Structure 1
Amino acid sequence: MLVVGIAAAVYWKRRVGAIWLCVVGYVALCVAAMITTRSGADTADELGQTLRYVADCAIVVAIALALTARAPRRAGRVAPRAVPTVAGVLAAVFVALSTVSTLAFARSWRDNPTTDYLDTARAELAAHRDVPLLDQPVSIWVLLPVTFPNNSAARIFAPLRDRPEFAASTPELRALDDQGRLVQASVTWTRSIPQGPDPDCGFRVSEPTSVPLDGPLMQWDWTAQLNYFADRDGTVEVGLPGGDPVAVPLEAGLHQVYVRLAGQGSELQLRPLTSGLSMCLGAGPVGAVVPGQAPVSSPANSRDGG
């Protein structure tokens, strides 16, 4: 229909051919640029076809239509009497197709999981405020990783008043699954903290200490599971090369703590911040957080042992 309209405009109007040649060239360049930059062996062909990349073309087409409407008529070309009727039919067809397209779009998004995910997550976070959470990306069915950092759970749920704190460390690892449920989580063994040289302590940390990993990490946000024994309550600073260190609270005795670290390299850097603090660090994983299947028990059940 657009092609027929352009052909009719060129036939009846003067100096509009150049306008539509420019429009076609602009649209072609936009599409070619997106296909070239968004297509490849490791991407899907649909990325280059995403309409948001060529949304600006609608403005160019609208300007071209306005210029065409104002262009003078060719000499000797008299509009036939059927033009108003044809124009009315074309307008009706356009409205009908637009309505069908809008309804189809609304129907395709009716099954969008975002609403259920957010409702479930809001209820789960309000019911489990006893343990801080590490930040995590929300489900890929809600926001894709390409939206980083806007897919951060800490950023999305920040306006909620009834929720746990999002912190850099936590004594119990929990995560939101793809349905928005709060579940127990674990750390993948992308890299590991090996068992240290002291058979009774592993790595003894009472001063700034570098603990080697079993391999290098690329620059990313990682989670380290620290299995430790501390001689007193205190705070230790933990970091990776190339990232900011994190102050981690410790409890006296044998415990675990999970720390979210940004950085890279082949070692963990630890430094006690509490005077006289000494800790033993055992083997443990450094990697990504993976939600499990077990739901988080309510604080009341935890206190009752159930």
Structure 2
Amino acid sequence: MNNLPIGFYVDNLYCFPVGPSGSQRFCYLPTTPRIEVLGNEVKARILNSDDAAVLALQIVWEADTDTIEKAKSEIKNRYPELSFINLSLADFRGVTATLNINKNDKVIYSIGPINTSGPDMFRAAFQDTLKSAEKEAVLNAFNTGESGVITIVYDGYLKLNEIADAEFDGDLATEIKALAPREVEEKGKGFFSKKHKILTPSPSLQECKDAVGKAIENKSLIIQHKDSANVSKKAKDTVIQEIINDISQCVFTKIEEVGKNSQYISSYCCRIKKTKAESVKFNLKKSYDLVGTISESRGRDIIEK
């Protein structure tokens, strides 16, 4: 697979968290389609004649119950803080399947793309008449079990609703006191002039932003994150900047209100929460070998004359 959400493999499943951090929701995608087998019947047939061969294949792409349970156990091991795990099949959309016949690592014949049955099994049923090179390649593959000759390409996309979620909940007294205007002594211009007190100017909003940004960088002010796993850096940066702007405005406004007395503030608590939602699209396309999913003896049984 390519362009996958952030996640991990458990056997033939790819699992990934969905929603904000701690949401307890996970999804999975099967990773290996196979020729469908119902009971002892392999859903594949080749009706062979001297002139041509009719190929009929039914492919499914699903996860078995045991692997899903194993995935749940692995998620619990990776996220021990979660009291409950909700694992479901990912909403894989617009799924098509293409059957390729290959020779010397090159596609010589294709069937499809065709639409699959949807998220139950993503079943795809192929039927076509093969001649010359493609017929020879398919017959040889099922007779010998040669891999790489018959491949299935699944193509579709995922759309995930991601969120950048950040919160500041802290005390701004230190930053306010550091920026507060103060009375300082200034010496007169003449030689015998007396010193007199003047009030330093209040900080500008930009100076407050610079001070707050430095405090966050030094971790004296902490922004907590509960971002979903696949949210973009742009969305994260946006909410962080919005919080910095609001914190800076709080500091600036408080100093404007109390002036030089702001240097005596012992506590000034502030709580700011920002979120930004976005839709993230993942285009998924992967080729899989089909002959390798059945035994060589069953491959021979598929061929009828």
TM-score (norm 2): 0.25
Q: Kindly indicate which of the two structures has a greater share of residues assigned to helix.
A: 1
Of structures 1 and 2, the one scoring higher in RCO (CA 8 A, sep 6+) is 2
Q: Kindly indicate which of the two structures has a greater share of residues assigned to strand.
A: 2
TM-score (norm 1): 0.25
